[in-house]
Amino acid sequence: MPAYHQMGHNSTNLLFEPDLASFSGAILSPVNDDQAQVAAILQRVRANRADLEMVFDPQLYFPQSNRGQIRTWPHFPDDVDTADLSSPAWWTSVVAALAKVVGSVSPDAVCSPAVVPRVFSNNDFYMRMVEVGDELVDAVSAIPVLQTVIVGFDDLTTPARPYEIASIVSKSKSDRVFLVVSADVDPRRELSDVESLKGVMRLIHLLESGGQRVLVGFCSSDMALWKAAGATSCATGKFFNLRRFTRSRFEEPSGGGGQLPYWFEEGVFAYLRESDVVRVQRAGAFSGSTTRNPFTGPILTMISEPKPWVGQGWRHYMWWFADFEARATKDIVRSQLRSADNVWRDFEVNDVLMEERLNDGAWVRQWRRAVAEYQVP
């Protein structure tokens, strides 16, 4: 199923760009926009892109965070610093407030509220989040509720853990899951622990096999793995060529400037800096997807002039994401990763070295292992 646009800072215009029209929905962010702004976005979408499913994510992930517009929203409790966040009564009040917001904003679907716990190994956390999700299902009957499931990447290293989490999550009244993978990985670094990758993939596979459609949020190129595991949809935003779902994402200033431009190249399954784009092009390693990408030509021209191309880089990445998300079966992902692994091997042999020292394709082999092994008991 087509991809979702994870809305971020100043990203509304991307919803309406003809070359990014293959996204099938968007996840609204109350961190970046206040209630009036979200209402305006919805109005504009319904007038111009009525086919988009607009999903409201309440984004209570880090309630002590003071980021962006989140504290202006009625569903954001004003007692987060003193409240007992394990209290069912506290969550009931959050759900009631969120139901009112949903009634007022009128999205097409809503994610259940959830916080990021201190540790992910406690099953009570998942039980409570499912109870909260079920309360929201009862409170919001007019639109679908996506059960939010936040998993710790490092918590999924043991083979049994995804089964245990899936056994709890599958109790949910909702047939849709919004999966968020929380990982302590530096910006620009790929998730590469094989056992954890296999754990996330197993979890996705189990939920989908049980009839719960999984939308994985806050994805980067790791989307390929989640799709290989059977995820119905994945979501990304323009910043996810650099960032992950981390606490810092919710604590940093929200300005969009100061970034280096990056290019995602399917041929090596890697993000490339400007000089590396040229290097990979000279090596003849651009993929067919890159050739088809409508932003490839303009960026190459900008590089040659030279001109800044951060914004075009976002678009280039998002076009690739939606394109690959729509065609990524397990076989295609396996094949593409194998091909990228071979290219990196050739680069090594021929001294084609990336500007970033850690950009050596090492994760591609780990990803291949994850795809090959995640269903092996």
> How far is CA 91 from each of CA 61, 101, 137, 251, rounded to the nearest angstrom?
13, 15, 14, 23
Check residue 215 for interaction with other proteins (CB under 8 A).
no
**CA 96, CA 81: separation in Å to the nearest integer?**
20
Q: Which stretch binds other proteins (CB under 8 A): 88-96, 203-211, 222-230, 248-256?
A: 203-211
Among residues 76, 73, 26, 68, the alpha carbon closest in space to that of 249 is found at 68
The secondary structure element, H or E, covering residue 137 is helix 123-139
- Which listed residue (51, 79, 124, 355) binds other proteins by CB under 8 A? 124
Q: How far is CA 40 from the centre of its chain?
A: 24
Least Å distance between CB 156 and other proteins?
14
- Least Å distance, CB 146 to other proteins, is 16
Under the binding rule (CB under 8 A), the answer on residue 171 touching other proteins is: yes
Residue 160 belongs to what H/E stretch? helix 160-169
**121 in contact with other proteins (CB under 8 A):** no
The Cα 218–Cα 240 span in angstroms is: 7
The verdict on 170 binding other proteins (CB under 8 A) reads yes
CB of 210 to other proteins, least distance (A): 4
CA distance 238 to 243: 10
> Is residue 376 near other proteins by the rule CB under 8 A?
no
Tell me how many degrees the CA angle 207-318-11 measures, rounded to the nearest 5: 100
Phi-psi group of 188: left, alpha or beta (phi > 0 → left; psi -120 to 50 → alpha; rest → beta): left
Q: Count CB-CB contacts under 10 A for residue 120.
A: 19
Please give the residues from 243 up to 262 whose contact with other proteins meets the rule CB under 8 A: none
Task: Quote the least distance from Cβ 89 to other proteins, whole Å.
Answer: 16
In the window 40-59, what residues touch other proteins (CB under 8 A)?
Answer: none
Confirm or reject binding of residue 127 to other proteins (CB under 8 A): yes
Q: Could you tell me which stretch among 96-104, 166-174, 262-270, 350-358 binds other proteins (CB under 8 A)?
A: 166-174
Among 164, 193, 323, 360, binds other proteins (CB under 8 A): 164
Stretch binding other proteins (CB under 8 A), from 10-18, 33-41, 120-128, 311-319? 120-128
| Interaction between residue 163 and other proteins (CB under 8 A) | yes
Residue with smaller CB distance to other proteins, 97 or 168: 168
233-248 residues labelled b (16+ CB within 10 A) or e (exposed)? bbbbbbbbbbbbbbee
Q: Encoding tokens for residue 276?
A: 């590396």
Count, residues near other proteins per rule CB under 8 A = 19
Q: How many CB atoms lie within 10 A of CB 192?
A: 16
Cα 277 to Cα 267, 287, 351: the distances in Å are 11, 12, 15
| Closest to other proteins by CB, 123 or 275 | 123
**Element at 130 (helix H, strand E):** helix 123-139
Host H or E run for residue 271: strand 270-272
Q: Residue 158, interface with other proteins (CB under 8 A)?
A: no
Between 70 and 156, whose beta carbon lies closer to other proteins?
156
Our finding on whether 166 is near other proteins (CB under 8 A) is yes
Q: Which is nearer to other proteins, 216 or 318 (CB)?
A: 216
Question: Among 1, 168, 310, 372, which residue interacts with other proteins (rule: CB under 8 A)?
Answer: 168
Residue 160 interacting with other proteins (CB under 8 A): yes
Residues that bind other proteins (CB under 8 A): 123-124, 127, 160, 163-164, 166-171, 206-207, 209-212, 377
